[in-house]
Amino acid sequence: MSVYENNAKVQSFVTEVVLVDVEKFSLLSAEEQVRVAVILNGELELFLNVSTGQSAMSVDEVVAGFASTGDGFYVILQPEIAGFGLVLGLSLRAKLQTANVEGKRCIKGVRIGVHRGVLSKFVDITQRECFVGPVMNDCSRLLSAKPENAPTNFLMDSSYVICSKSAFESFSNAFNYIDENSYFRKMGVITSPDIAIKDKHDLLHSAAFVEAPRFVAFNPPRPHDFDERVKAKLAKYIDPLTNEFTG
């Protein structure tokens, strides 16, 4: 089918996107750029496979798609998992910094933006799904922020996570962040005051830096039928007569 036929009806929806960008990527050699690209995709793959499994979910239930930017990528989340964008951004920073500690020193730092808004999905000339929309454009503008824009001593280093107001509100609603005793408060997730970011078109974007323990990654929220899913996965290992594990 032609591109026009494939896109006679384009699907648009509201969701969250996470943009990962490698600091000073263009200054790397060709060999280092390839190595960084492999590390980025490999760490994302490992994290998603492990974390979704621990929540008894599939990767497809969390992620709607990906879009490469050359020096990073967008992760497009499923609309049903509202609020997880910021959590994923914090987790990816932690995983990439862990990769650095393990000797993969090509990545000097990462900048991660999180935003919520309108996205459209279409099929390109190679028959692959692609994504466009204001949410992606506005998310990239957040990375115009510089570490020195954060409050004094708020960031540990130049690797930051910055979240738009719409995405943070989605996170707060999903995980009851307003409650001082909520899970992510107890885990040390803190947010800076809002800052205004002026993009190349002189448009202002409001966002906040978000910090968390640098080597902690978080699983997606468990679905409402978590127990049933776990039982279904374990069923093949249980003897129906004795109700014991068969190994």
Amino acid in the structure at residue 38 = V
- Report the SS3 class of residue 73: strand
Give the model's pLDDT for residue 239: 60
> For domain 11-237, is the CATH number 3.30.70.1230?
yes
Query: Domain locations in the chain?
Result: 11-237
Task: Find tokens 């920073």 and name the residue.
Answer: 93
Strand locations in 106-159 (E): 110-123, 129-132
For the chain, how many residues are written? 247
Q: How far apart are CA 115 and CA 133, in angstroms?
A: 12
> 94 and 215 in contact (C-beta within 8 Å)?
yes
Encoded tokens for 223: 């679905």
Give the model's pLDDT for residue 244: 62
3-state helix, strand, coil split of the chain in percent (to 5) is 40, 25, 35
Give the model's pLDDT for residue 76: 96
Q: 63-71: long-range contacts (C-beta < 8 A, 24 or more apart)?
A: 64/15, 64/121, 64/131, 65/121, 65/129, 65/131, 67/130, 67/131, 67/136, 69/19, 69/21, 70/25, 71/21, 71/22, 71/25, 71/26, 71/33
Give the model's pLDDT for residue 223: 87
Give pLDDT tens digits along the chain (247 positions).
899 988 888 889 999 999 999 888 888 889 888 888 888 888 899 999 999 989 989 999 999 999 988 888 999 999 999 999 999 999 999 988 887 655 566 787 899 999 999 999 999 999 888 999 999 999 999 999 999 999 999 998 899 999 999 999 999 999 999 999 999 999 999 999 999 998 888 888 999 999 999 889 999 988 888 888 888 877 776 766 566 656 5
Encoded tokens for 105: 């020193």
Encoded tokens for 43: 């760490």
Strand locations in 39-128 (E): 63-68, 72-77, 110-123
Tell me the HSE value of 130 on the side-chain side, using a 13 A CA sphere: 13
- Provide the Cα torsion 112, 159, 163, 28; round to 10°: -30
Strand locations in the chain (E): 11-22, 63-68, 72-77, 110-123, 129-132, 160-164, 190-191, 195-198, 204-211
Give the model's pLDDT for residue 100: 63
Task: Find tokens 């998310």 and name the residue.
Answer: 139
Instruction: Count the neighbouring beta carbons within 10 Å of the beta carbon of residue 221.
Output: 18
